[in-house]
Amino acid sequence: MNVTVIGIGLIGGSMAIDLKKRHFTDHVIGVDSDKLHAETAKNIGLVNEISDLDEGIKKADLIVIATPVDATHKLLPDILDKVTDQTVTDVCSTKHGICELVKNHPKRKNFVASHPMAGTEYSGPWAAISHLFDGKSTIICNKEESSEKALKDTEDLYGTLNMRIIHMEAKAHDVHAAYVSHISHISSFALALTVLEKEKDEKHIFNMAGGGFRSTVRLAKSSSEMWTPIFSQNKTNVIDVIDTYIEKLENFKKGILSGNGSEIKNLIEDANKIKRIV
Amino acid sequence: MNVTVIGIGLIGGSMAIDLKKRHFTDHVIGVDSDKLHAETAKNIGLVNEISDLDEGIKKADLIVIATPVDATHKLLPDILDKVTDQTVTDVCSTKHGICELVKNHPKRKNFVASHPMAGTEYSGPWAAISHLFDGKSTIICNKEESSEKALKDTEDLYGTLNMRIIHMEAKAHDVHAAYVSHISHISSFALALTVLEKEKDEKHIFNMAGGGFRSTVRLAKSSSEMWTPIFSQNKTNVIDVIDTYIEKLENFKKGILSGNGSEIKNLIEDANKIKRIV
């Protein structure tokens, strides 16, 4: 089958690699509004051809929209206007808005709202790698709004990528994504900002950055094009979880100021419970 | 030379492995107040023998105190009382307090205050691994207070561990350690507490934890025995950096609430500057 990937960056490009390698498709068509990204994707062999959007839709059996949330919101209604029986799926980190956006579209059934939970802190076609999705989870939302065929195509795609498929209602997805994924990014962005402000002399950061700092600050390298619209889209949930996060930091502050070691010890031991889960 | 390691956990044990393997010593004596740790260290071959503190001091040419900060504060004056010409070094994450503690001790010159900046989220002799220190930095503080011999012994030890040696004044060390290392741990502990509180159903955490959450929350597995006294010792600097961190989180909150994407975008792009350094 022909797969058209719209947005040939880290996610779209990594999908293209493994979908071809594992014979899910032998022809990937890339569409990207960024000319350099499009050319690079073609040159490094992520896609077989580059085309414009209309041509990409026409030639596809399955369309993956792998652009940032705001671009996906603009593209999806237009793409659904143009499809006949093609399946369309997306990869956005927020799912309620997109499901609301197209819930009355006559082609809603062609669309499967999905969120493969994988990535790195890098972006663009240069960042695409094989095995990015292996063993990770993908969330498919509001599956009853999709046709059986569209659902099967999408589940086959994620099956090929060796992902574990989880079904969830879109609104619940956004709550859980804020709790588990979005707050990690905010905690890491804020950490980078803090250290950059406190350590005017970068040499100290470089010299004293152990593995701990490196892993905690890794997500702060993530792209603003991707994350700005996610935080905007998931505003209420993200604000709620930032509030809880600040509350926990205030508890640490209180414990440290009190000079009572047992308060800090209890907080750390409660935090250690995360070991049981991840 | 005989090396006595007091506290045969992640740090002491990992040192013992590479110091023997690289022929810095062919006899490591382990001292540990935890009987199970001591026995394990002997059984898995981290040390050649286990002894009590007095015997360990007597037999040593070089003594490494690799216990948590509070235990090191208790042990060091007692150990300095008992040494003749042995070199003593420690590995604590806070250095001002320990330097103050022994600054007038008649054997102060035998002591080198050091902080090898390496570790993992695991602890105990079972966590000890080879190559833990390779390529990382170690900070030696107030070197003018140590004798040339003690300094040479300690620098040879860290040289054998393939560490980059950096000299710093103890008070400055504690400020930088708060900025780069201690705040990472607090941000990670608070993240674990937040997610555990918000996600009462652990299955969602497990299902939705991508690589990003895992790397950001990794340090939250660190031991309370080690970290409680560090935060207490470095109280003023740690509180100061928590305040800045909360301020950055409030900025994110403000940006998200404003609905003005460009505010969030600017924050993320400023955070991205960490790429230039780590």
Cα separation, B138 vs B161, whole angstroms:
10
For the segment B3-12, the average pLDDT, to the nearest whole number, is 98
Q: What are A240-250's pLDDT values in tens digits? A: 999 999 999 99
Residue B177 touches chain A, beta carbons under 8 Å: yes
Q: According to the model, what pLDDT value does residue B164 have?
A: 97
Q: According to the model, what pLDDT value does residue A63 have?
A: 98
Cα separation, A246 vs B148, whole angstroms:
47
Q: What are A112-149's pLDDT values in tens digits? A: 999 999 999 999 999 999 999 999 999 999 999 999 99
B-facing residues of A in 98-117 (CB < 8 A) are 117
A-facing residues of B in 188-207 (CB < 8 A) are 188-199, 202, 204-207
Q: According to the model, what pLDDT value does residue B209 have?
A: 87
Q: Which of A183, A220, A264 lies closest to B271 in CB terms?
A: A220
Q: What is the ipTM of this complex?
A: 0.93
For the segment B25-32, the average pLDDT, to the nearest whole number, is 98
The answer to whether the beta carbons of residues A41 and A50 sit under 8 Å apart is yes
Q: What are A217-258's pLDDT values in tens digits? A: 999 999 999 999 999 999 999 999 999 999 999 999 999 999
Alpha carbon of A261: minimum distance to chain B alpha carbons (Å): 6
Residues contacting residue A89 through CB under 8 Å, at least 6 positions apart? A62, A63, A64, A65, A111, A112, A113, A114, A150, A153, A154, A157
Least confident of A202-206, B103-107, B221-225, B235-239: A202-206
Which chain A positions have a beta carbon within 8 Å of B208's beta carbon?
Answer: 117, 137, 139, 176-177, 180-181
Is the Cβ pair B268, A222 closer than 8 Å?
yes
* Percentage above 90 pLDDT, chain B: 95
CA angle A51, A53, A59 (to 5 degrees): 65
Q: According to the model, what pLDDT value does residue A176 have?
A: 95
Containing H/E element for A153?
Answer: helix A148-160
Alpha carbon of A94: minimum distance to chain B alpha carbons (Å): 13
Q: What are B61-98's pLDDT values in tens digits? A: 999 999 999 999 999 999 999 999 999 999 999 999 99
Q: Which of B211, B212, B239 lies closest to A256 in CB terms?
A: B239
Q: According to the model, what pLDDT value does residue A256 have?
A: 97
Alpha carbon of A16: minimum distance to chain B alpha carbons (Å): 20
Q: According to the model, what pLDDT value does residue A8 have?
A: 98
CA angle B236, B171, B153 (to 5 degrees): 135
pLDDT at residue B269 is higher than 90: yes
Is the Cβ pair B273, A119 closer than 8 Å?
no
Residues contacting residue A229 through CB under 8 Å, at least 6 positions apart? A68, A69, A70, B261
Is the Cβ pair B180, A273 closer than 8 Å?
no
pLDDT at residue B189 is higher than 90: yes
Q: Which of B209, B252, B259 lies closest to A180 in CB terms?
A: B209
Q: According to the model, what pLDDT value does residue A186 have?
A: 97
Residue A118 touches chain B, beta carbons under 8 Å: yes
pLDDT at residue B126 is higher than 90: yes
Name the residue with tokens 């690589």. Answer: B211
Which chain A positions have a beta carbon within 8 Å of B121's beta carbon?
Answer: 212
Least confident of A213-227, B79-93, B200-214, B220-234: B200-214
Q: Which residue out of B216, B222, B264 would a mutagenesis test of the A interface target, given it has the greatest number of A Cβ atoms within 10 Å?
A: B216
**Domain annotation for chain B: domains and CATH numbers:** 2-168 (3.40.50.720), 173-276 (1.10.3660.10)
SS3 of A4, please?
A: strand
Which chain A positions have a beta carbon within 8 Å of B261's beta carbon?
Answer: 228-229, 232
Q: Is B88 left (phi over 0), alpha (psi -120 to 50) or beta?
A: beta
- The neighbour count for residue B223, using CB atoms within 10 Å, is 18
Residue B51 touches chain A, beta carbons under 8 Å: no
* Percentage above 70 pLDDT, chain A: 100
Structure tokens at B203: 């299955």
Q: According to the model, what pLDDT value does residue B207 have?
A: 87
Question: How sure is the predictor about A208, in pLDDT bands with cuts at 50, 70 and 90?
Answer: confident
Question: How sure is the predictor about A30, in pLDDT bands with cuts at 50, 70 and 90?
Answer: very high
Query: How many CA atoms within 13 Å lie on the side-chain side of A45?
Result: 7
pLDDT at residue B211 is higher than 90: no
The answer to whether the beta carbons of residues A196 and B245 sit under 8 Å apart is no
Q: According to the model, what pLDDT value does residue A230 have?
A: 96
Residue A228 touches chain B, beta carbons under 8 Å: yes
Alpha carbon of B12: minimum distance to chain A alpha carbons (Å): 17
Is the Cβ pair B188, A216 closer than 8 Å?
yes
* Percentage above 90 pLDDT, chain A: 95
Q: Which residue of B has its CA nearest to A229?
A: B261
**φ/ψ (deg, to 5) at B14:** -65, -35
B-facing residues of A in 147-166 (CB < 8 A) are 164, 166
Which chain A positions have a beta carbon within 8 Å of B197's beta carbon?
Answer: 244, 248
Interface contacts (A, B; CB < 8 Å)? 315
pLDDT at residue A165 is higher than 90: yes
pLDDT at residue B104 is higher than 90: yes
Mean pLDDT of chain B: 96
Is the Cβ pair B117, A208 closer than 8 Å?
yes
pLDDT at residue A200 is higher than 90: no
Is the Cβ pair A252, B186 closer than 8 Å?
yes
